[in-house]
């Protein structure tokens, strides 16, 4: 196999010119050649597979990996083996390969070496820029631009996962819905800039009073919702009352204008027979409507209210 590469310097020059980290393995998975990018990356990083040189058994190194990324290494070794055995004509896989100082992702690609002796060409292309862009786009798609909170889409995604956990493990979880009272009046009287600051102020107050595992999101114009994992109904109601008092006592200030606001709260527990988070939101919505109907600036809890309710109004 080595003689194939030694017949011409052209192949070596081509391999060394490529930015991808490339190695060539024989039919059993032993490395018979590596390019310059592979050598340079291995010298700069304490990653076993990249530090492997000619004569090292690539599959053994992958399958012996431990610590972060070891699962990906095992999966990649399985893909390499499938190409070497002829079961697959192409295998590729994206995987993280983070360093202590930066996040990195690579695209590993394995293609058969079409010569009599067989083997495979294995390349690892750094795709960090693309993955970071994907992460940023995903974050933007899940974020409310005004408050910086998760948006409704993200809330529903996380909420459905919480419903599934309640269903499988019979654990407790609750939902709080929050609606700013007379929000239209704030906009009409003080302008939309003050209205925007009101929403940002409420989001800051609530964020500072919940746990890291809780999820606060802006799900509508002046509506917010909180998912509280491992929290029963009394615990959620207690938190809602704490938040209500904070909102009432904390004025919204923008430049020389100060506005006092209140908010109404609807609380429910997630049930094991909920089909999805929408079922829990509907109950919290009913409780919130009751809070609005009975004077605002209060907390109402389901099942202490009627389930059917019309659309909310500020």
Q: Compute how many other C-beta atoms are within 10 angstroms of the C-beta atom of residue 258.
A: 11
* Residue 249, number of CB atoms within 10 A of its CB: 10
Is 71 tagged catalytic? no
Q: At what angle do helices 192-207 and 183-190 cross, to 10 degrees?
A: 140
**Residue 112 structure tokens:** 């058969």
CA distance 150 to 143: 4
For position 2, what pLDDT does the model report? Answer: 47
What CATH fold (topology level) applies to the domain 2-132?
Answer: Beta-Lactamase (3.30.450)
Is 110 in a helix, a strand, or coil? strand
Unique residue bearing structure tokens 């070891």: 70
Among residues 30, 162, 222, 223, the one annotated as catalytic is 222
Q: What is the pLDDT of residue 309?
A: 41
Q: Where are the domains of the chain?
A: 2-132, 142-301
State the pLDDT at residue 11: 75
How many Å apart are CA 91 and CA 80, to the nearest integer? 7
Tokens for 139, please give them: 């974050």
Cα separations (Å) of 158 from 33, 169, 214?
Answer: 47, 16, 10
Is the dihedral angle over the CA atoms 122, 126, 130, 132 positive or is it negative? positive
Model pLDDT, residue 307: 55
**pLDDT computed for residue 5 by the predictor:** 52
| Six-digit token string for 60 | 């053994």
pLDDT reported for residue 116: 76
Q: What is the pLDDT of residue 66?
A: 73
> What one-character-per-residue DSSP string does 204-269 give?
HHHHTTS-TTSEEEE-SSSEEEEEEET--HHHHHHHHHHHHHHHHHS-EEETTEEE---EEEEEEE
Q: Single out the residue of 126, 125, 122 nearest to residue 102, CA to CA.
A: 126
Q: How many residues does the chain have?
A: 314
Q: Is 23 helix (H, G, I), strand (E, B) or coil?
A: strand
How far CA 270 is from CA of 12, 49, 162, 214, 276, in Å, comes to 62, 47, 8, 14, 9
Counts of helices then strands in the chain (DSSP H, E): 12, 12
- What is the pTM for the complete model shown? 0.65
Element at 176 (helix H, strand E)? strand 173-180
pLDDT for 278 equals 96
CATH top class, domain 142-301:
alpha beta
The pLDDT profile of the chain, 314 residues, written as one tens digit per residue, is 444 555 456 777 888 888 899 999 999 999 998 998 888 886 666 555 555 678 889 998 888 877 666 778 889 999 999 999 999 999 999 988 777 677 888 999 999 988 777 899 999 999 999 988 888 888 888 999 999 999 999 999 999 999 999 999 999 999 999 999 999 999 999 999 999 999 999 999 999 999 999 999 999 999 999 999 999 999 999 999 999 999 999 999 999 999 999 999 999 999 999 999 999 999 999 999 999 999 999 999 998 776 554 444 44
Token digits for 288? 């919130």
pLDDT at 18: 87
Strand-pairing partners, residue 254, are 257
Q: Do residues 52 and 77 lie in contact, with contact meaning Cβ atoms separated by under 8 Å?
A: no
Let me know: does 310 contact 288? Beta carbons within 8 Å. no
Q: Any idea what DSSP says for residue 270? A: P
């Amino acid at each position: 196999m080595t003689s194939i590469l030694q017949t011409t310097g052209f192949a070596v020059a081509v391999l060394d010119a490529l930015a991808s980290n490339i190695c060539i393995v024989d039919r059993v998975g032993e490395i018979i050649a590596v390019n310059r990018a592979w050598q340079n990356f291995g010298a700069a990083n304490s990653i076993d597979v990249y530090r492997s040189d000619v004569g090292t058994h690539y599959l053994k190194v992958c399958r012996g990996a431990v610590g972060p990324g070891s699962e990906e290494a095992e999966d990649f070794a399985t893909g390499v083996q499938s190409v070497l055995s002829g079961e697959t004509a192409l295998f590729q896989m994206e995987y993280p390969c983070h360093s202590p100082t930066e996040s990195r992702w690579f695209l590993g690609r394995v293609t058969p070496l079409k010569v009599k002796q067989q083997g495979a060409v294995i390349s690892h292309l750094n795709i960090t820029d693309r993955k970071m862009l994907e992460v940023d786009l995903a974050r933007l798609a899940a974020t409310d631009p005004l408050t910086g909170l998760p948006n409704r889409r993200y809330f529903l995604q996380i909420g459905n996962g919480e419903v599934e956990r309640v269903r499988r493990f019979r654990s407790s979880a609750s939902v709080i819905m929050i609606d700013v009272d007379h929000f239209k009046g704030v906009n009409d009287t003080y302008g939309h800039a003050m209205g925007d600051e009101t929403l940002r102020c409420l989001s800051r107050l609530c964020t500072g009073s919940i746990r890291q595992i809780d999820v606060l999101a802006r799900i509508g114009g002046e509506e917010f919702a909180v998912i509280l994992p491992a929290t029963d109904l009394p615990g959620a109601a207690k938190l809602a009352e704490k938040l209500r008092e904070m909102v009432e006592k904390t004025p919204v200030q923008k430049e020389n204008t100060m506005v006092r606001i209140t908010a109404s709260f609807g609380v429910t527990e997630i049930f094991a027979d909920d089909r999805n988070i929408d079922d829990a939101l509907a109950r919290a919505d009913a409780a919130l409507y009751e809070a609005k109907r009975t004077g605002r600036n209060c907390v109402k809890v389901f099942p202490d209210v009627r389930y059917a309710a019309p659309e909310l109004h500020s």
